[in-house]
Amino acid sequence: MRWRSLILFAAVGVVLYAALLASADPSAAIAAAARVSGLSWLLILGLSLLNYGLRFLRWDGYLRYLGNHLAFTRHLAIYMAGFALTTTPGKAGEAIRSVYLKPLGVGYERSIAVLYTERLVDAISIALLATLLVEMPAPGYRWSAVIAAMFAIALLLLQRAPALNAVARLVPSLPLPRMRRAAQSALDCLRQATALLRFRLLLLGVGVGLISWGAEAVAFYHVAHVLDIPIGPVVAIGIYATAMLVGALSFLPGGLGSTEAVMVSLLVLAGAPVPAAVATTTVVRVATLWFAVALGVVALAATETSRRRYSLSNESPGAKAQAGR
C-alpha cells in the first residue's frame, strides 16, 4: 500500500506539471528550464542536501537530549526514509520513522513528540522567512508578511502551559471515548515536546530551520536569477517561504498544487514572464520535493531490507537456540 501510494502520487505530480506547462507557452517554459546548467543543478541539489542534513542533525540532537543515542548511519537512513512519505497530507507519513525507531528503544510518544517539535519549529522558521515578502514589489500582497508574523507568534503562544491546560480541560467533554483517548495521547506528546521547547532549544531549533529552509530559498533565487527574473534575494526568499507555508497549511500531499500555484502567481506579480515563472517553479520543486522523495524511497527500501534481515536472523533456529540459553 505504501509503494502504491507513492506511485499514485508520482502520477498525479506528472499530470500536475504537464498541466502547469500547458498553462504557459510550453515550448518557452521548456526552453527556459533548459537554461539551468548542470553546474546550477549541482548547486541547488547541494543546497537541498544541506537542508536535509541540518534538519537531521537537529532531529538527532532532540532525541539525544531526551536520552536516546543512536548509531549515526542507521539513524540517518531512518530519518531519510520518512521523506519517502512526505507526500502525505501535512507530511504525517513521516511518522513512519517511529515504527523503525521503536525496536531501537525509542517509544512512540517520544518520537512523535520530536516529529511534532520538528514540524512546529519548521513552521515558525518558514513563517519568519515569509515575512520578507514585505519587500514584494506588488504592495497589495505585503499584508501576507504580517499574517505570516502573526502565525509564527500564534504557534509560539499555543505551546505555553496555559494553552495546554485549557485544551486538557476540554478533553473530558469530548463525546466519544475514542476521541478522548486520541486527544489525551496528543496531549501527552505535546507535554513531552515541552522539554524540547524551552527557550534555548527553541531558539536553536528555529535558527537551524532558518538556515536550512533559507538554503532552499537561496536555490530558488539562483534559478530565478539564471532565468533573468527581476527579483532580489530578499523577495525571492519571501516568495519561496510563503509558497511553502501555504502548501503546508493546505494539508495537500506534499503541498502539491497549492505550493506551485502560489509560487508561480507571486513570481508573475513580481514581474516574471509566465513561462519563466513556470520553469523556475518546476525546477525548484524537482530539486526540493521530488529530490527528497527519491532519496527517501532509496532509504526506505534499505531500511525495510535491514529490518527484514534482522527479523529473519532472530527467527532462525540458531538465534532461537542462542535465546534459549
What would the pLDDT profile of 203-251 be if each residue is shown by its tens digit? 899 999 999 999 999 999 999 999 999 999 999 999 999 999 888 877 7
**175 touches 161 (CB < 8 A):** no
Summarize the chain as % helix, strand, coil (round to 5). Answer: 85, 0, 15
Of 38-52, 169-183, 264-278, the one with minimum mean pLDDT is 169-183
81 is written with which cell numbers?
526514509
pLDDT band at 110 (very low <50, low <70, confident <90, very high): confident
Of 30-44, 179-193, 269-283, the one with minimum mean pLDDT is 179-193
- Quote the pLDDT of residue 95: 81
Q: Which residue do the cell numbers 527556459 mark?
A: 32
Q: Which residue do the cell numbers 541539489 mark?
A: 45
Q: Which residues contact 111 (CB under 8 A, 6 or more apart)?
A: 63, 95, 97, 98, 101, 102
- Quote the pLDDT of residue 25: 81
pTM as predicted: 0.82
The torsion defined by the Cα of 48, 59, 119 and 244, in degrees rounded to 10, comes to -10
Residue pLDDT, tens place only, 25-59: 888 888 999 999 999 999 999 999 999 999 999 99
Q: Which residue do the cell numbers 508578511 mark?
A: 145
**Strand, coil or helix: 253:** strand
CA separation (Å) from 139 to 142, 144, 245, 266? Answer: 5, 10, 20, 12
**188 touches 116 (CB < 8 A):** no
**Strand, coil or helix: 272:** coil
Cα separation, 224 vs 208, in Å, equals: 24
**Strand, coil or helix: 89:** strand
- Element housing 7 (H / E): helix 2-23
Cα separation, 53 vs 58, in Å, equals: 9
- Quote the pLDDT of residue 123: 86
The mean pLDDT of 195-209, rounded to a whole number, is 88
Strands (E), the chain: none
Cα separation, 196 vs 217, in Å, equals: 26
- Quote the pLDDT of residue 256: 79
Closest C-alpha to 55, from 186, 164, 280, 216:
216
188 is written with which cell numbers?
501527552
Domain boundaries, the chain: 2-16+34-159+197-310
Instruction: Tell whether the model's pLDDT for residue 320 goes beyond 60.
Output: no
